[in-house]
Amino acid sequence: MRNQIFIPTNAESKEDIINSLDIQQTLLDADYIPGLMIYIRNGLKGVALDSIVQKQYENLSEINEIYGNAAIVVILSNIPIEEIDFLHNPQYATEHAMKGIDFAKNLPIGKRKIVTFHLNSLVPKKEYFAKSFEKWKKEFDLKIVSYLREIGKYSKSNGVEAKIETVPVPEFGDIPQEDPRTYLGVKLHELRNPFYIIGDMFQYAYPPGIGVCLDLCHSRTIYEHAKQENANELFHADIIGYLKTRSLFNDVLALKQFDIVHLNDGKGLYDEKTKTSFEEGIALGKGDIKGLSQLIKHLDSKKIAYVLEINETDFANRPETRDSIEYLVNLYK
């Protein structure tokens, strides 16, 4: 088998599940191992409210014959932000992650079960720059690590793998700056995440039982922004030099076999002055990631599984996802 691959699906919709199965057939014919990524909506309710949970279970039970022994990823909802904010409300966020683990454990399908989540450790720019990168690392050790260890222990005892997802810089640099939504009293695009989860910093995510979900288009923004003249507007001064020495391939090489990847492309950059944004989840080969085919072949050689996480506007037909599947199939022709 070439590799394990996951196709996103909304388990609240039978139609979407069927569509995901249909999309995956081309990959199965190309020697990929099947898998699904269940993306959770409605925040904590998506894994804790009985009516929503049971609806997803009922829909998924109908494909048990096909996916009973497959690997399944559950990606926890990142919105509302306050429901899974490990910096400001770590106990609540931990409980959210544990509910996600319970949800995954009781799925009617799947042999290998994985839960991914964001730290949502966001702060306004002024607070972000008030401390150095090194001081924020100490803050991470003080406020967050113990909760991650708790999640790691809980996930292991329940036979579920937990993974922290890497984030772009800035975390909401992909939304228009005129977007009125706020968190912590500032617009979303003005928030900053002081905890870079990249390369040799993956140890942030490796307390017992925790792994990494490397999102390629997210991490691309880190290295591309670090090369720009306005890098000091986005990063701590004491980390920019280090970031300039690295590339996305460093992150891929740092992955462990049990980690997973959100496979996608990305393009454009964030600039507050020109009001430009970057784009996430671009179809494979249509973005700015250099050496993407080599990255994918390395993942295949190490059997590091990936989710085909591609943005769509036409969810019924998913043309961008189908183009990405064609890209993957053609890699080995």
Domain residues for the domain of 21 are 5-171+192-224+249-268+280-330
198 located within any domain: yes
286 located within any domain: yes
What does the pLDDT read at residue 196? 79
CB distance 193 to 240 below 8 Å? no
Count of all residues that appear for the chain in the document: 333
User: Number of structural domains, the chain?
Assistant: 1
Residue 81, class by beta-carbon neighbours within 10 Å (0-12 exposed, 13-18 middle, 19+ buried)?
buried
297 C-beta neighbours (distance < 10 Å), count: 15
305 located within any domain: yes
275 located within any domain: no
Flag residues of the chain having pLDDT under 70: 200-201, 204
pTM: 0.95
The DSSP H or E segment spanning 39 is strand 35-39
CB within 8 Å of 265: residues ≥ 6 apart: 216, 217, 282, 283, 284, 285, 286, 287, 288, 289, 292
216 located within any domain: yes
C-alpha separations of 293 from 3, 4, 27, 149, 267 in Å:
14, 17, 16, 35, 16
82 located within any domain: yes
What does the pLDDT read at residue 60? 96
Q: What is the CATH number of the domain that holds 127?
A: 3.20.20.150
Residue 195 falls in which region: left (phi positive, over 0), alpha (psi -120 to 50) or beta: beta
CB distance 5 to 27 below 8 Å? yes
What does the pLDDT read at residue 179? 94
144 located within any domain: yes
177 located within any domain: no
What does the pLDDT read at residue 112? 94
